[in-house]
Structure 1
Amino acid sequence: MLHQQTIAQLRALKLTGMADALQRQSEQPASSELSFEQRLALLVQHECDHRHERRSTRLLHQARLKYPQAAIEDFDARPSRGIERSRFTSLALSGWSQTGQTIILTGATGCGKTWLACALAQYACRQGHSVRYLRVPRLAEELRTLRAAGSYTKWLLQLAKTDVIVLDDWGLVGLDALTREALMEILDDRVGGRATLVTSQLPVEHWHAWLGDPALADAMLDRLLPQAHRIVLKGESLRAAGRAQVTETGGG
């Protein structure tokens, strides 16, 4: 009875992890062999784990990733892709999202760029970092909606505070002046402090011409390219081949 009262009080205090752990302890006779300090330590650890899982779930929902189930553990490491599993895993675990680094994934359509970017972003969410996925070809439409609603400045401020931004399909369609300016603002806010993931079918050497405005192109690429981690994916399309792992079905 005392246990049930304590469990109810823990739930009322929103200590759900501790409440669940105490319930399990009360159902396991072996728990009585532990000292008070040991049982308390387990309760606190369960609460910490519960909060971390809840935060990760919330961050992943807010990220709006194209492939939210993509995970670095499911990386398709066939040799023809141009990147070894050890290199990809080392990059994912390197703390790039904490230190504000840039990762650029390029390659032909269907080679898995977007899936890999989402896997890296999903792992950042699991580590407790905020993420936002943006598809560059749709950015102009989103910007028009934001400006019409008067929330464009607020949106920029939110992006500036986001730990990781994914810019998917960079270079796929032409940019209008307002979209170029918005991308410039986004990149300028991230220099040296926030991480950026870019996927593109267009080789990096053609980005300057694609951006259109020479002055803005110089400024944007100066913020993106220095010391960026560049990965060029190779091989046949994972979509066309029909041989991708069940866990990695995304192209991009």
Structure 2
Amino acid sequence: MTQLTELRDMMRSLRLSETARQLPELLQAAEQQDASYAHFLASVMSYEQKRRDEKQVEKRMKWAAFPDHKTLKEFNLAEQQSLSKKQLNQLADLLWVEQLYNLVLLGPPGVGKTHLAIGLGIVAVESGYKVIFTSMGDLVQVLKTEEITRKSKARLKRIREADIVIIDDLMFMAMDQEEANLFFHLINDLHEKASIILTSNKAPKEWGELLGDPAITTAILDRIVHRVEILHLNGDSYRMKHRKTIFGSENVSN
């Protein structure tokens, strides 16, 4: 057994598996730089820590279950005049998460609500927060099957343990009494424990029409708006403005 093989085996037994894989390159770099023992040891520890951090981000990103990878850098502020650069930077600072604020992103379809929610979620994941994304339709289905399937139970466990829960397309469909009650209990579980980002094309005053029960609506609103920032995104649909057509550059109406 060579000394390199022995070192790599010992590293693996000490759970320094990332460094074990990279050890030949680290040794070569140290020899080329004529590095001191302390410098080499620091580079080994630094590499292991870096790779562990990266793997944690990868793990949290997988758990977040974002439907797309849409970053804040890709969010076109020129297309969304109702949000300033300063406001976007303040949201990206994530101080509101530490303060357990909720965000409600309101506006018609296509104005960037989901993109903004995902972008903030990605920043949060990279900053060490546990984030989870769900559409309202999927959430209702998971809530209704929590006692039936392990998958739904595991999904809701992650939701309840998250630092940020993103619920997309809130109130896009009417709920029956059971669904509204289950949704209330989830919001109650998250209250004062996590920040919630909601996207919706309906203002909170309209939610009662879809929840059906005035008492449940009031209870949900009370918990969401206790600490909330409501952002009204407006303008033309970005998706419609930049849609692709099978007719090339021709106007469809021609």
TM-score, structure 2 as length reference: 0.84
Contact 2:143 2:152 in 1 (8 A): yes
Identify the residue that residue 107 of structure 2 maps to in structure 1: 107
Is 1:18 paired with 2:22?
no
Matches within 5 A, 1:35-114: 35-67=36-68, 69-78=69-78, 80-114=80-114
Judged with a 3 Å threshold, the aligned counterparts in structure 2 of structure 1 residues 47 and 158 are, in CA distance, closer, same or farther, namely: same
What 5-or-longer segments of structure 2 have no aligned partner?
245-254
Q: Once structures 1 and 2 are overlaid, which stretch shifts more, 23-32 or 201-210?
A: 23-32
Change in 2 beyond 3 A, CA 1:154/1:50: closer
Query: Cα gap change, 1:222/1:216 in structure 2, threshold over 3 Å: closer, same or farther?
Result: same
Asked if structure 2 preserves the Cα contact closer than 8 Å seen for 1:166 and 1:196, the reply is yes
Aligned residue type for 2:239: R
Alignment of 1:240 with 2:236, yes or no, is: no
Change (3 A) 1:94 1:62: closer
1:214 equivalent in alignment to 2:219 = no
Question: How far is the alpha carbon of 1:9 from its aligned partner?
Answer: 2.5
In structure 2, the partner of 1:129 is 129
Q: Distance in 2 between matches of 1:156 and 1:212?
A: 24
* Counterparts of 1:58 and 1:138, CA distance in 2: 21
Q: Specify whether residues 79 and 86 from structure 1 end up closer, same or farther in structure 2 by C-alpha distance, changes over 3 A only.
A: farther
Partner SS for 1:19: helix
The answer (yes or no) to whether the contact 1:21–1:43 under 8 Å persists in 2 is no
What is the match of residue 248 of structure 1? Answer: none
Q: In the TM superposition, what are the counterparts of 1:156-167 in structure 2 within 5 Å?
A: 156-167=156-167
Q: Would the alpha carbon gap of residues 19 and 240 (structure 1) be closer, same or farther in structure 2, given more than 3 Å must change?
A: same
2:227 matched residue in structure 1:
227
What CA distance in whole angstroms lies between the structure 2 residues aligned with 1:83 and 1:162?
27
CA deviation vs aligned residue, 1:99-140 (integer Å, no higher than 9, x gap): 432111111101111111111112222222222222113333
Could you say what the CA RMSD is over the residues aligned between the two structures, in angstroms?
2.5
* Distance in structure 2 (CA, Å) of the matches to 1:42 and 1:151: 41
Corresponding residue for residue 183 of structure 1: 183
Check 1:108–1:115 CA distance in 2 against 1; reply closer, same or farther (3 A cut): same
Per-residue deviation, 1:173: 0.7
- 8 A contact 1:159–1:186 mirrored in 2: no
Residue 235 of structure 1 aligns with an amino acid whose one-letter code is G
Larger Rg: 2
TM-score (normalised: structure 1):
0.85
Q: Is the 8 A contact 2:132 2:165 kept in 1?
A: yes
Asked if the contact 2:79/2:238 (under 8 Å) is kept, the reply is no
Residues matched between the structures, number: 243
Contact 2:143 2:183 (8 Å CA) reproduced: no
Q: CA deviation at 1:202?
A: 0.7
Tell me the equivalent position of 1:7. 8
Take 1:63 and 1:53, find their aligned partners in 2: how far apart are those partners? 15
- Paired-residue identity, %: 22
| Residues 242, 151 of structure 1: alpha-carbon distance in 2 compared, 3 angstrom cutoff | closer
Q: 1:54 to 1:180 in 2, by over 3 A?
A: same
Counterpart of 1:81 in 2: which secondary structure? coil
Structure 1 residue 50: Cα displacement: 0.6
Instruction: Give the Cα separation in 2 of the matches to 1:98 and 1:14.
Output: 33
Cα 1:151–1:35 shift into 2, 3 Å: closer
Tell me, what secondary structure is at the counterpart of 2:42? helix
Q: Please list the CA deviations of residues 50-88 of structure 1 after superposition, one character each: whole Å capped at 9, or x if unmatched.
A: 111111111111221111x12223221216431123311
- Say whether the 8 Å CA contact 2:80–2:235 is kept in structure 1: yes
Deviation at 1:21, TM superposition (A): 4.8
Once residues 190 and 197 of structure 1 are traced to their aligned partners in structure 2, the CA distance between those partners, rounded to angstroms, is 12
1:169 paired residue number:
169
Inter-CA distance 140–29: structure 2 relative to 1 (3 Å threshold): closer
